[in-house]
Structure 1
Amino acid sequence: MNYPYIIIDDDQESVLRTKAIANGFSELAFVASANNYTDGLNLILELSPKIIFLEIDPADKESNLSLALINELYRYLKIIPKIIITTSKKELAFEAIQYEVSDYILKPIQRIDLIKTFLKIKKAIAEDEVYVVKNAVPAEHQNPKVESEIYVAKDPVYQGDNPVVSEIADNVVRTPILEEVLNVFSEEEYSEVNNPFLKEFKKGDTEDEYSEVKKPILEEDQESEVETIATQFVTKQNPNIEQPLILCIKSYGDYRYIDAKDICYFQADNNSTDIHLNNGEMVTAFKTLKHFEGILSYPFVRIHNSYILNCNYISRIHTGNAVCYIKNSTTKLPFSKSYKSSVDLIISDFSNGNYLEI
């Protein structure tokens, strides 16, 4: 399961460092970042992340970043995302605890700190999403020999505009009363799910037949069973999950679709941005470079006031000359001192992969 997160911090270098460390976790999915209170609140309400990294003592006081953002979330949301405070001051920790934040990490963030935090967050989210629906089975259908609670896994990520997916996510049965599934789903919905595992359970099954099917199931890890069933439901109803990112450049009714993996780098051009592709083509988008920086995640990294680079197209980094070389071309992109830390993180990321230094 992926855990979408956003970063709200007025320090762009700190945003990049947090993102670089979080990229080491396959289950964490970067969504966007914001540098002030208003943009951060709008992103949360629009994108519904599960995790928020929040700076509460900004260097730029005009950003208005503080714990007050959490209070504002309660005005609009029933379920508040897991909030991780990232700041350099210890003395704000007690106040943050009163706001029931999930964790408090001191800057500069270290990988081991995020590992510990993520494990706690993952456990807390799992506990929040598994709850008990008592007496879900009508009395006339209940078996007194079987416990009368059905555990249902709910995941808000899968709910929204798709009513079928939303209803399925509302009714994923966790065990052990799998023979009562049809009392939760209607026959029509049940056939739409078309899950061969659950098809074994019919309203007229005998207890012996149920036991024969249940026995191998109970020998498996029940947590993995729930996740498998939920994945089958959602994947069937929404085949676009985990698809590669596609950028749509729209201009006066013209929709241009670009695979993000084909983009080498972005170059600022006043209030527009030139997008350079790996085939040598260039497409202009009428958005600023800062706009793309806010919506794109790794491997896209800003290295200069005028450039965002796709790290997958780097063939060479010369720190002495402060330039990055693009694969299969003669293009060299400069990086500035203010983004030197971003380049250092790129070098570090290369060394963390399947890497041999000679």
Structure 2
Amino acid sequence: MNFPYIIIDDDQESVLKTKAIADGFSELVFVASANNYADGLNLILEHSPKLIFLEIDPADTTSNLSLALINELYRFLKVIPKIIITTGKKDLAFEAIQYEVTDYMIKPLRRIDFIKSILKIKKAIEEDEVSITQNQLIKTPQELKVEQSKSTDDFQESIEEKILVLNKNTQDPIVKEPKATSEDTTEEDILALDEISAFSEEQIPEVYLQQSNPNIEQPLILCIKSYGDYRYIDTNDICFFQADNNSTDIHLNNGEMVTAFKTLKHFEGVLPYPFARIHNSYIVNRNYISRIHTGNAVCYIKNTTTKLPFSKSYKENVDLIISEFANGNYLEI
């Protein structure tokens, strides 16, 4: 699921910082940026993004950036994009809530804020899709009666069309006569009716509705390139990353280790969810965590004896992982 986004901010340095963090998420696709109200509105109407990062307390007052931009969108769009407010003050948070913004992030922006916002957006979209599906499935008795009547009429029309085709081929067109009584019905009439009935049963094909499979998002493939050697790794198979000076060791679920000549900070900037940094030396795939001991400040890796420490500076990431487990299919005993 991708989210094309636009950044609207009067500070160009702030635009670059927002984009730098967003580039670390494969779900976010940069479209364009604007520095004032008019240009921002035009970009939204032109590109129809799913997500907007909006500054509402600009340093340059001539940019006219404010929550009023959201009101303007309702004049032109049936579906309003998800809007995330990015500003340096908390003062306008209550007012922003009245405009039903998706999130409110305080500058300087942090990667963890983006993770939380993306999770919120995904959850909201999934709930909307479920609601739409349920509305489509629920029909009143009157609607069902109309559909049944329409289906019967369509079937009857199909029968009549095929009967006409049959008679054209035999060059013996049927002329509709008033229905005969049982006394007037001859043996020839009975044989003709039997022939038509047999045709309608044998020649009309059955129609089956085949449900199309939803598009399955392809897993992210990590390519480790070295002197013409291309090593492709499915990120779903990666348990954790470990820093080793200016290189990084990638530990796979089969026990294998691959070395990449990039720093751990580089991987932190490009890896999407479910990877999270928990220590100066470790990035972990939360899908391979089997246990978190907050007292000892360690994470346990599934099906191994490996224990990864987490530091106070990244404790917030660990807390987020704990909350994600609790929000899933979860039973606490």
Pick the structure with greater CA Rg: 2
